[in-house]
Structure 1
C-alpha cells in the first residue's frame, strides 16, 4: 500500500457529497429513461467491456463498462481495477483518471492500490470514481468471493436485428 498521509478531510467530504448526489440522480434517470426495472435480464462481459439488457428475450439497451474495483470478501480488502493486472484491458477504460485525480487533489484513497474493506469507504470511492469518469450509472455484481464494481457509460438503444420472415 502507498503512503497513507493525511488529507483535507473536509475537501474529501465535499467531493463525496457532490459525487453521491450526482450518482443518485444519474442512477435514477438511467433506470427511468431506459426502463431498467421489473422483468429485465442483463448480460455482461469484461472481455469486451459491454453490458446488454433484454426483456422477453429481446435486447433493448447496450452500454460500456469500466471496472472501478473489487472487494475480496474472504480477505476483506478493496483493490482498484487500475492496480489489478489480471483484468482485460478493455474493462479498464479510463480508470487511471481516478488515480490521477486523487494524486492531483491530495485524496490518498484514490491512488492507493487497495485498502481494508470498509463498506462506507468503498461506497465513497466508487461514487467519486463514477463522477470522475462521468458515468451514466453504477453497477455491482457478486461472483464467488468477490464483489465487482463498475461504472456504466455510453448507453444506447440496441440495434434491431433482422426481422423474421413469414
Structure 2
C-alpha cells in the first residue's frame, strides 16, 4: 500500500530525472560516446571516442548485477567494492532501516 502523497511525489521525481538526463545529454552528450570505462581505484567513469577521453565524472556504486545468475546485489553487500565508492549506497541502506522502524 502506498501513501496518498506517493503518486504526486513519483511524478515530480520522474520529471526531475527527465530534466536532469536532458541536461546531461545536451551539455555532455551522454549516451552518444561509443565507449565508457570505469576505474574503481580513482572512482571515475570515463566516456571516450576513438581513444580520446571526452567526459570524466566521479561515481558512487549502488549495486551490481550478475548476468549469469540474473540477480542484483546492493553495493554494501559486495565486499569486492572499495568503501570510498559506497557512501550513497550506505545512505540508502540507513534510510531503509529508518523506514522499517517507522512502519512498526
TM-score with structure 2 setting the length:
0.70
> Which of residues 30, 40, 56 in structure 2 aligns to 1:36?
30
**The 10-residue stretch of structure 1 (47-56 or 25-34) with the greater mean CA deviation from structure 2:** 47-56
String of CA shifts for 1:16-55, please: whole Å, max 9, x gaps.
Answer: 4443332222122112111224354222122321111223
Q: What's the CA shift for 1:13?
A: 4.4
Cα distance in 1 between the residues matched to 2:88 and 2:22? 23
Distance 1:106 1:84, change over 3 A: same
Number of equivalent positions: 100
Q: Which segments of 5 or more consecutive residues in structure 2 lack a partner in the other structure?
A: none
When you count strand as a share of all residues, which structure comes out higher? 1
Any conservation in 1 of the 2:33–2:47 contact (CA below 8 Å)?
A: no
Aligned residue in 2 for 1:57: 51
Cα distance in 2 between the residues matched to 1:86 and 1:95? 15
Distance 1:80 1:37, change over 3 A: closer
Distance 1:57 1:66, change over 3 A: same
CA RMSD of aligned residues (A): 2.8
Q: Give the SS at the match of 1:67.
A: coil
Cα distance in 2 between the residues matched to 1:48 and 1:81? 17
When you count helix as a share of all residues, which structure comes out higher? 2
Does 1 or 2 have the higher relative contact order (CA < 8 Å, sep 6+)? Answer: 1
Cα distance in 1 between the residues matched to 2:45 and 2:5? 31
Aligned residue in 2 for 1:24: 18
Q: What's the CA shift for 1:77?
A: 2.8
Instruction: Give matches, 1:69-84, under 5 Å.
Output: 69-84=63-78
Q: What's the CA shift for 1:80?
A: 0.8
Instruction: Give matches, 1:65-144, under 5 Å.
Output: 65-106=59-100
Distance 1:106 1:23, change over 3 A: farther
TM-score with structure 1 setting the length:
0.48
Q: Which segments of 5 or more consecutive residues in structure 1 lack a partner in the other structure?
A: 1-7, 108-166
